[in-house]
Amino acid sequence: MAESPVEIPKALIEKLRNARHITVITGAGISAESGIPTFRDAQTGLWAKYRAEELATPEAFRANPELVWDWYSWRRKLVGDAAPNDGHHALVELEDWAPSFTLITQNVDGLHQIAGSRNVVELHGNIRKVKGLDCTRDRECPAAGDASRYDQSPDKPPRCEVCGTYMRPAVVWFGEALDHNNIELAAEASSKCDVFFSVGTSAVVYPAASFIYQALANGAATVEINPQPTPQSQEVHFPLKGSAGVILPALIKQLKEQHS
């Protein structure tokens, strides 16, 4: 059965036409249509099958480095085999269209950049990269970089040849602080935007879920795109129920039609 055409509220199109800065935050839902599992969806989400505390914490890595390395290698393969979908591509079009644009993502899959998004803030890191276990922002070991260079390594996890530390995925684990610079960039983009989109996130993980409140406090129009309700659905001006890969392209189409 053909899907019915998506109606985007005219008032939202008007807000977008007048916007100087547009900010978008994305979560796992935008990559769901690329075949990457989300975290909290009841049947298919990663946290329905795996325990976060056994796989996605510094303590888990120290207790069982091989298990954690293997789990991230498996996820890296999933992500490496995936391609951006219509939702990712529509956000590139929105960036091209907007006078000024920031894309904040909680996703570690790098699909926004592969699609062509430019101004991206990766709040939770990037699974395609590795860094040393003891690396800090100011002191990064020379082995940090592209994870693919360790694909053939017999050591799980491999070690940095210079300092000997274990290599780990360059993602933010539960219990770890987010990069301060990224938080500042995201907060600034949320405070100054005229329209704020929350796309494909359950909006339960902080500080990511807090940026929409900065946008609201500063008078921005807020939009949520999600097939399921979230704790923020009642608070946004435009809750658009449905998948990102359908709604975002429809929004771009209507924006461009009405703009010409």
Beta-strand pair 167-171/221-226: unpaired
Residue 44 found at the interface with ligand OAD (CB under 6 A) = no
Active site amino acids: 124
Which region, judged by CB under 6 A, interacts with ligand OAD, from 1-9, 94-102, 158-166, 238-246? 238-246
Per-residue contact string for residues 148-187; x = within reach of ligand OAD by CB under 6 A? ------------------------x-x-------------
Is residue 243 within the footprint of ligand OAD (CB under 6 A)?
yes
112-118 CB contacts, 8 Å cutoff, 24+ apart: 112/26, 112/84, 112/88, 114/83, 114/84, 114/88, 115/84, 115/88, 115/89, 115/91, 116/89, 116/92, 117/88, 117/91, 117/92
Minimum CB distance to ligand OAD, residue 113 (Å): 16
Give the C-alpha separation, 109 to 89, whole Å: 15
State the residue number with the nearest CB to ligand OAD: 29
Q: To which H or E segment does residue 95 belong? A: helix 86-97
User: Which of 204, 205, 222 is closest to 213 using CA atoms?
Assistant: 222
Report DSSP state, residue 174.
T
Binding of residue 117 to ligand OAD (CB under 6 A):
no
Does 76 contact ligand OAD by CB under 6 A?
Answer: no
33: contact with ligand OAD by CB under 6 A? yes
Contacts with ligand OAD by CB under 6 A lie at: 27-29, 32-33, 38-41, 45, 56, 106, 124, 172, 174, 200-202, 205, 225-228, 230, 243-245
